[in-house]
Amino acid sequence: MKYVLDASVAVAAEKLNEPLHAAARARVDRVLSGVDEICVPAIFAGEVASALTRSTTRSAADILGYVRALLADAEVITLGPRAALAIAAVATQSRLRAADAAYVWTARRAGVALVTADEELVKRSGALCSVERA
C-alpha cells in the first residue's frame, strides 16, 4: 500500500507517551519492513528530526538514522516555486498551516491517501484529499 506519511505519525511512533503511539508504530514498522510505500514532501525529514530533537533525549545520530531509514525507499517530492503556489492555494482553501498544506498537496499530487496523527489535519483536509488516521 502506498500513502503520504505525515510527520506526526513518524514522531508519534517514537514517543511512547503519544496517544496514537501504538497505531503510529504499526504504520512505521510496515514502512521500515517494506510492506508499505510512502511518499512525502521534502520537508518531512526536517519536521521529524526537529520534533524528535526538541521532545526526546535521543542523540542526533539516532534521530537522523531513523529519518534516513524512513526515507530509504520513499518517494520524496521536491517543493519548488510552482509547488509553493499550489501549497498556498491548499492552505487558503483548508485554513491549514503551510507545512500541513504541503502534505495535503503531496497526497493530491500523488493520488494517494494522507495518513496522519494530527486531528486538525483530519478535520480540515478531508475535502481536498483522502485522509486516514494513524
Domains defined along the chain, listed by start: 2-133 (3.40.50.1010)
pLDDT at residue 114 greater than cutoff 90 = yes
Is the whole-model pTM more than 0.85? Answer: yes
Q: Per-residue pLDDT tens for 31-79?
A: 999 999 999 999 999 999 999 999 888 999 999 999 999 999 999 999 9
Report d(CA 47, CA 64) in Å as an integer.
12
CA gap 93, 6 in Å, rounded: 19
Range list of H helices, the chain: 7-14, 21-32, 44-55, 60-71, 81-94, 98-110, 119-125
Give residues with Cβ within 8 angstroms of 27, minimum separation 6: 5, 9, 13, 36, 115, 134
Per-residue DSSP letter, 35? S
Helix (H/G/I), strand (E/B), else coil: 3: strand
